[in-house]
């Protein structure tokens, strides 16, 4: 429970934060005259600032709040998964894919991921397919709203549902105007705050580490020996190296195929600035990913994961840790308030990117192709975009409220299932679009359908047969049991299978592809 000083300080911080954000939103909105400006911006931003904007969009409240809570339950196995395999794969993928995507994104004049795919393969059907599937990313919006609400409600001492309503009105409200121009300004401020807070959180476990790393691990082992094992058989996410390593590497490679991440490279106006953009993003990301170690500190702070005799949910662990660890003395309270601001920044930064990319995609990739013949004024699309944001806000409130009132293991499971399904489908068309000369949209589309069907089959259909009819698939059956299952399993297999299908179709049709390219060049 927050002290009166923490509650008062949190309210003051919120007021300051709101003023700064609104200032930059107004500044960005004055330069936003069209949907093009809203989508990719009209300002020549510093590449380092855009890199920071990318880093905070890629990190989110999941890295600062939700994932460390999962680490607190699982221990070292979770650190290896979320702190080693996933970051390594995602950062390498970021450099390779994002750099090439920016080049192709600029050449095809794309405002969104769905439009990029549609233009690349000259297929309105494919573009619509990806645009409609992007609704799955609303699950990620819900995750971030849960994290922000958990942190704020504990900081200000108010009911979670009222806090949720206030957050949605504020952030969805200001995102109706500024778009990309405001996004880079606000993300840059949020990134600086997050960098400071990341350092504070990483060193917040000094008291647990001062007697040496061996004593640190012994303390965890005394709580539960599985907390210091490479695998945790009691966990639902880190039971073996297939879950910890293979699944997270595949997901890490594909994770950059999200609209709010990959389209950031389109904010860069000059090719010469791309390296600076990527370097600043990677340095910030390495520090951000290190925050997951805080989950181990939280487990030592709450050995039985209870507070005042009440069992904490996974998503409550890190907000409770921050309130507990930074409550002794005025100096500590002030540092704690800065940390709360950083956790909020981690949430708001990604939330802004998601709202901007989702509303842009719905407007330009669904409304315009389907109803554009009835809309004569281009400025009308800007108005439609605002209406879409309002609808997103309402839907997000309804789903997030349910997640707050009826939590399972973590909102992470709900969010991962939606997000992973989306980028599993989008992975092959992006990779083929960048690295091959394929023009026939049916080839990558077949891979996308394969990914979607595989994901649904593994996450929903096979578990049904395992539960109802006792279907036995050997060792693989453990991934299909129970109400709570690991979305990374379904996603990694879906990406792998769809990649195989895509490669086979590519080589089967390679001769035709090469002939078409030669004819086109002549």
Q: Where are the domains of the chain?
A: 4-521
Interior CA angle at 287 toward 281 and 290, to 5°?
135
pLDDT at 109 over 60: no
pLDDT at 237 over 70: yes
C-alpha span between 383 and 367 (Å, rounded): 12
Interior CA angle at 338 toward 335 and 340, to 5°?
110
pLDDT at 33 over 60: no
> What is the predicted pLDDT for the residue at 300?
94
**Mean pLDDT of all residues in the chain?**
84
> What is the predicted pLDDT for the residue at 457?
95
Lowest average pLDDT, out of 377-391, 440-454, 459-473, goes to: 377-391
pLDDT tier at 522 (50, 70, 90 boundaries)?
A: very low
Q: What is the mean pLDDT of residues 133-142?
A: 90
- 105 versus 14: the higher-pLDDT residue is 14
Distance of CA 438 to the CA centre of its chain: 29
Most confident range, picked from 113-117, 231-235, 497-501: 497-501
pLDDT at 376 over 50: yes
> What is the predicted pLDDT for the residue at 32?
57
> What is the predicted pLDDT for the residue at 262?
73
Q: What is the mean pLDDT of residues 136-164?
A: 88
> What is the predicted pLDDT for the residue at 259?
62
Q: What is the mean pLDDT of residues 210-222?
A: 93
pLDDT at 188 over 80: no
Please report, rounded to a whole number, the percentage of residues in the chain having pLDDT higher than 90.
36
Q: What is the mean pLDDT of residues 64-90?
A: 93
Nearest to 93 by CA among 328, 258, 319, 219: 258
Q: Which of helix, strand or coil describes residue 291?
A: helix
pLDDT tier at 450 (50, 70, 90 boundaries)?
A: very high
CATH class of 4-521: mainly alpha
Interacting residues of 270 by C-beta distance below 8 A, sequence separation 6+: 47
Please report, rounded to a whole number, the percentage of residues in the chain having pLDDT higher than 70.
87
> What is the predicted pLDDT for the residue at 260?
62
Nearest to 410 by CA among 313, 307, 303: 313
Any bridge partners for residue 310, and if so which? 307
Distance of CA 87 to the CA centre of its chain: 13
pLDDT tier at 308 (50, 70, 90 boundaries)?
A: confident
Q: What is the mean pLDDT of residues 448-470?
A: 94
Query: Residue 456 — φ and ψ, nearest 5°?
Result: -65, -40
Q: Which of helix, strand or coil describes residue 104?
A: helix
pLDDT at 227 over 90: yes
Nearest to 106 by CA among 276, 273, 271, 280: 271
pLDDT at 518 over 70: no
Query: pTM of the entire structure?
Result: 0.85
Q: What is the mean pLDDT of residues 200-223?
A: 91
pLDDT at 241 over 80: yes
């Amino acid at each position: 429970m927050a002290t009166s000083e923490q509650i008062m300080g949190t309210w003051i911080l919120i007021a300051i934060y709101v003023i700064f954000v609104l200032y930059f939103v107004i500044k960005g909105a004055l330069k936003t005259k069209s949907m093009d400006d809203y989508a990719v911006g009209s300002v020549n931003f510093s590449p380092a600032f855009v890199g920071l904007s990318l880093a905070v969009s890629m990190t989110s409240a999941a890295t600062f709040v939700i994932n460390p809570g999962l680490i607190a339950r699982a221990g070292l196995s979770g650190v290896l998964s979320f702190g080693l395999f996933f970051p390594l794969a995602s950062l390498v993928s970021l450099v390779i894919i994002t750099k090439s995507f920016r080049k192709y994104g600029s050449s095809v004049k794309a405002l969104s991921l769905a439009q990029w795919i549609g233009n690349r393969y000259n297929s309105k059907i494919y573009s619509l397919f990806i645009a409609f599937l992007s609704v799955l990313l609303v699950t990620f919006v819900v995750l971030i709203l849960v994290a922000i609400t958990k942190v704020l409600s504990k900081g200000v001492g108010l009911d979670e549902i009222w806090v949720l309503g206030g957050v949605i009105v504020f952030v969805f409200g200001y995102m109706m105007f500024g778009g990309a121009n405001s996004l880079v300004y606000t993300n840059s401020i949020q990134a600086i705050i997050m960098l400071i807070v990341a350092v504070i959180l990483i060193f917040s476990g000094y008291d647990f580490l001062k007697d040496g790393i061996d004593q640190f691990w012994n303390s965890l082992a005394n709580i539960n020996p599985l907390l210091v094992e490479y695998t945790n058989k009691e966990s639902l996410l880190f039971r073996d190296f297939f879950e910890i390593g293979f699944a997270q590497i595949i997901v890490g490679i594909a994770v950059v195929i999200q609209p709010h991440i990959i389209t950031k490279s389109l904010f860069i106006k000059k090719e010469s600035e791309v390296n600076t953009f990527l370097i600043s993003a990677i340095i910030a990301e390495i520090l951000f990913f290190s925050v997951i170690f805080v989950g181990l500190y939280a487990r030592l702070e709450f050995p039985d994961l209870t507070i005042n005799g009440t069992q904490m949910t996974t998503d409550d662990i890190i907000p409770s840790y921050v309130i507990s660890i930074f409550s002794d003395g005025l100096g500590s309270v002030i540092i704690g308030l800065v940390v709360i601001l950083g956790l909020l920044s981690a949430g708001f930064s990604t939330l802004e990117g998601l709202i901007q990319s989702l509303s842009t995609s719905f407007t330009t990739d669904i409304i315009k192709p389907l109803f554009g013949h009835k809309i004569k004024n281009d400025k009308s699309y800007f108005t439609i975009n605002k209406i879409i944001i309002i609808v997103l806000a309402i839907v997000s409130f309804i789903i997030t409220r349910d997640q707050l009132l009826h939590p399972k293991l973590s909102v992470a499971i709900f969010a991962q299932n939606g997000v992973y399904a989306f980028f599993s489908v989008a992975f092959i068309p992006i990779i083929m679009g960048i690295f091959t000369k394929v023009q026939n949209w049916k080839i990558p589309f077949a891979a996308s359908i394969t990914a979607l069907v595989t994901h649904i089959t593994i996450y929903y259909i096979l578990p049904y047969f395992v539960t109802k009819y006792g279907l036995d698939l050997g060792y693989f059956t453990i991934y299909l049991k129970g109400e709570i299952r690991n979305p990374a399993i379904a996603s990694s297999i879906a990406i792998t299978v769809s990649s195989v299908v895509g490669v086979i179709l590519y080589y089967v049709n390679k001769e035709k592809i090469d002939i078409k390219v030669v004819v086109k060049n002549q």
